[in-house]
Amino acid sequence: MTNSTTNSTTDLMLRRLGTTGPTVTSPGLGGLTLAGAYGPVDDDAGADVVHAYLDAGGTLLDTADFYGAGRNEMLIGRVLRERRRDEVVLSVKFGALVTPTGMPSAFDGRPEAVKSSLTYSLQRLGTDHVDIYRPARLDPQVPIEETVGAVQEMAESGYVRHIGLSEVGAETIRRAAAVAPISDLQIEYSLLTRGIERNGILDACRELGIGITAYGVLGRGLIGGNATGGSRANHPRFQAENLEHNRALVARLQDIADAKGATLAQVAIAWVAAQGEDIVPIVGSRTPAQVESMIGSTAVTLDDADLTRIDELVPAGSAHGDRYPTRFMHQLDSER
């Protein structure tokens, strides 16, 4: 479907999102971490992180209007004022209704909400268009055809370049793709979360020429990071015996990382990238040093023997605990 090449100005790979989407650097930089999800990050430090990624030749910035209730978009907008707009591919999610505590309470996919949300995002980002616009979740009260149709209207008006989806199942993907070209599906995919391999989602995307932008690649810090702090305490995988089991599971990969001269995090990112040229990992970073490490993952080569060994050490479905708290799991069309 897509081809991987190397950006001449960086070690990052270039991959196209599906058959109709833009060419982006892989890995992409996720904005949730800079919105304080896993601990505070001040805006100056956050701007340094985004600049570090772009200075290294990165192009793909992933954000959402509800990351920090608009704060992350404003941070990216601040950075964009110092860059050329055409150097950046902006992927923006919308639709989450948040409470004053910052937690999503519901999702609004009505056409009028689509247009209003986009208007505010354009203002905060300081741009006249976003490159990929996607509903963060399926609104169960609104047919996906209506939501995607509204985004398509915005594309026809020049405010959106490509349409994406997020955390939806195979049937919803097919219905959306019948309305408008879909560039990519954003969904959690990692060594610890491999549901798309068995529930028809990955097959549907490949059949339809839709790319995958994979988030949660490091298991929210379980792989090679500090698995504490922020919202993680509410996630089943970080609680009691589950956390102990999952840490031990990940530790099995240390010998492979050592043999590659890499970190566990770099092996995990490389594993996701190795699952197909149609897959782009999205990785959050809180410091320029973490950006450098993320980019270093592209130097990690995993051959067939490595991939087989990794599957033996961390089999699909071996992580303990759901990937979200129960009430959020119920909001995922991809889990139905």
Catalytic residues: 67
3-state DSSP assignment of residue 85: helix
Which 8-state DSSP code applies to residue 196? Answer: G
Ordered alpha helix ranges (H), the chain: 43-55, 71-80, 111-125, 144-156, 170-177, 201-208, 240-251, 254-260, 264-273, 288-296, 304-313, 326-329
Query: β-strands 130-135, 89-94: how paired?
Result: parallel
* Cβ-contact 127, 97 below 8 angstroms: no
Q: Torsions phi, psi of 55, nearest 5?
A: -65, -30
Q: How far apart are CA 109 and CA 144, in angstroms?
A: 8
For 134, which DSSP code? E
Tokens 């097919």 -> residue: 174
Quote the longest CA-to-CA distance of the chain: 54
Residue 303's alpha-carbon distances to 1, 213, 262, 269, in angstroms, are 21, 22, 15, 14
Coil, helix or strand for 300? Answer: coil
How far is Cα 197 from Cα 199, in angstroms, rounded to an integer?
A: 6
Under 8 Å between Cβ of 165 and 135: yes
Q: How far apart are CA 53 and CA 7, in angstroms?
A: 13
CA distances, 8 to each of 25, 58, 266 (Å) = 11, 11, 21
- Rounded to 5, what percent of the chain is helix, strand, coil? 45, 20, 40
